[in-house]
């Protein structure tokens, strides 16, 4: 039997991990397993005060269990790729591993009061988005679709926690194999 795995580093909000796991399991209708992931401190870049998401994604990929269809890693660390100032998440397009960061999904990152429902809503959408990439989906032009590109949290808030009809069809037609 194959499972959808969600994994978290030690510092990560466990309630968020559980919410993400349940949500993804229901969305993809796959049995769920949780796992612990080691620290990602090795990916720390002192110059940028951020964590390299390529290295974190490589680690996630290496740790992906044999019985995993996909592994979505969750971390509190702020992630980046060299050419960009940050990323909310990162995935292997058509691969098995994805990682999301909760750092910029929190209201407090923008100097606002913490808000748990907003954090969990954003985390689930971002996890669904990155998981969608691992199933081969690319960005969608429908701004309401979970696969639409978000470069600001406001865009995450505006989209639905679900795929649009076209992306759902693509997923059903050939992506899950």
Partner 1 sequence: MKTHWRILVVDDEAVMCESLAAWLREDGYAVDTASSGHQAVEMARTTDYAIYFVDLKMPGGMDGIETMMQIRRLRPDASIIIITAYATVDTAITAMKEGAQEYIVKPCNPEEISLLVSRIIKVKNLQRENTILRMKLTRQYHFRDVISKSACMRAILDLAAEVASLPSTVLILGDSGTGKELIARAIHYSGQRAAKPFVAVSCAALAETLLESELFGYEKGAFTGADHQKRGKFELADGGTIFLDEIGDISPKLQVDLLRVLQDRTFYRLGGTEEVRVDARVIAATHVDLRQAIADGKFREDLFYRLNVIEIRIPPLRERREDIPLLAQHFVERFAHELGKEISELSEGALKMLMDYNWPGNVRELENAIERAMVTCRGHSLTEEHFAFLAQNGAHAKGLTIPAGMSIQEMEKLLIVSTLQAVDGNIKEAAARLGIDRSTLYEKIKKYEIPR
Residue in 11, 15, 58, 130 annotated catalytic: 130
Could you give the string, one character per residue 74-103, with x where binding to partner 1 holds by CB under 8 A and - elsewhere? ------xxxxxxxx---x-x----------
Residues binding partner 1: number (CB under 8 A): 21
Could you give the string, one character per residue 103-142, with x where binding to partner 1 holds by CB under 8 A and - elsewhere? ------------------------------x----xx---
Grouping H, G, I as helix, E, B as strand and the rest as coil, residue 122 is helix
Q: Are strands 89-91 and 79-80 parallel, antiparallel or unpaired?
A: unpaired
Among 2, 14, 48, 116, binds partner 1 (CB under 8 A): 48
CB 173 within 8 A of CB 142: no
Smallest gap from Cβ 96 to partner 1, in A, equals: 15
- Which residue lies nearer to partner 1 by CB, 17 or 105? 105
By CB under 8 A, the residues from 139 to 168 that bind partner 1 are 139, 149, 151-152
Surface-to-core class of residue 113, CB atoms within 10 Å of its CB (0-12 exposed, 13-18 middle, 19+ buried): exposed
Answer yes or no whether residue 39 interacts with partner 1 by CB under 8 A: no
DSSP 26-71: HHHT--EEEEEE---GGGEETTTTEEEHHHHHHHHHHH--TTEEEE
Question: Angle between the 14-28 and 116-134 helix axes, to the nearest 10 degrees?
Answer: 50
Interacting residue ranges for partner 1, rule: CB under 8 A: 48, 54, 80-87, 91, 93, 133, 138-139, 149, 151-152, 169-170, 173
């Amino acid at each position: 039997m194959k499972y959808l795995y969600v994994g978290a580093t030690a510092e990560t909000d466990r309630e968020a991990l559980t919410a993400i796991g349940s949500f993804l399991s229901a969305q993809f209708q796959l049995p769920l397993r949780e796992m612990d992931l080691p620290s990602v401190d090795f990916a720390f870049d002192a110059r940028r005060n951020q964590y390299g998401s390529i290295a974190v994604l490589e680690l996630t990929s290496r740790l992906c269990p044999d019985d995993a269809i996909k592994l979505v890693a969750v971390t509190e660390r702020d992630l980046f790729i060299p050419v960009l100032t940050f990323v909310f998440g990162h995935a292997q397009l058509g691969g098995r591993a994805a990682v999301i960061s909760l750092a910029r999904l929190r209201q407090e990152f923008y100097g606002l009061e913490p808000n748990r429902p907003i954090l969990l809503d954003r985390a689930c959408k971002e996890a669904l988005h990155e998981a969608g990439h691992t199933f081969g989906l690319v960005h969608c032009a429908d701004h309401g679709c979970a696969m639409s590109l978000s470069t600001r949290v406001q865009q995450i808030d505006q989209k639905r926690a679900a795929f649009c009809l076209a992306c759902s069809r693509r997923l059903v037609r050939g992506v899950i194999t």
